[in-house]
Structure 1
Amino acid sequence: MPESSYRFACEEHMDVVIDGIVDDFAVAPTILPWPDPTVRAESPAVCHWCGKTADYVLTWTTEAETPST
């Protein structure tokens, strides 16, 4: 069954976060702008790389590993 994951990124570290996802999961993420400031206040999101306020959310889907029997 596919599993969805996400990471946040600031403008400055977008490339670093994308590279990490590609290296770690061998997939290209979907990049979406992180919602307006009212959403940020309710649900803080910080850059995966530096911890600053996120500007984007990067999402991807991978196949879940099935345990060997």
Structure 2
Amino acid sequence: MVSSAGVGSGTVMLDDLAERVPFYSAFFVDKNRNQVTPFANMAPRMIANCDGLRTGTGCFDIVRFIQR
């Protein structure tokens, strides 16, 4: 979510270590068409059979999606 104040917040996931796991997106702004187009997204994916307390690294990978 982008706000006019320049601060944004959206969905936030927490893993078993209570670490914030962000969602990221990148946008292209075409000033000639007054259009905002998303072209890349990165989202967390939970790792199966993971114990983040034991590994100390959390249980999410960040996966990148490219939109065309």
TM-score, normalised relative to structure 2: 0.31
Structure with more of its chain in helix, by fraction? 1
Structure with more of its chain in strand, by fraction? 2
Please tell me whether Structure 1 or Structure 2 has the larger radius of gyration of its CA atoms. Answer: 2
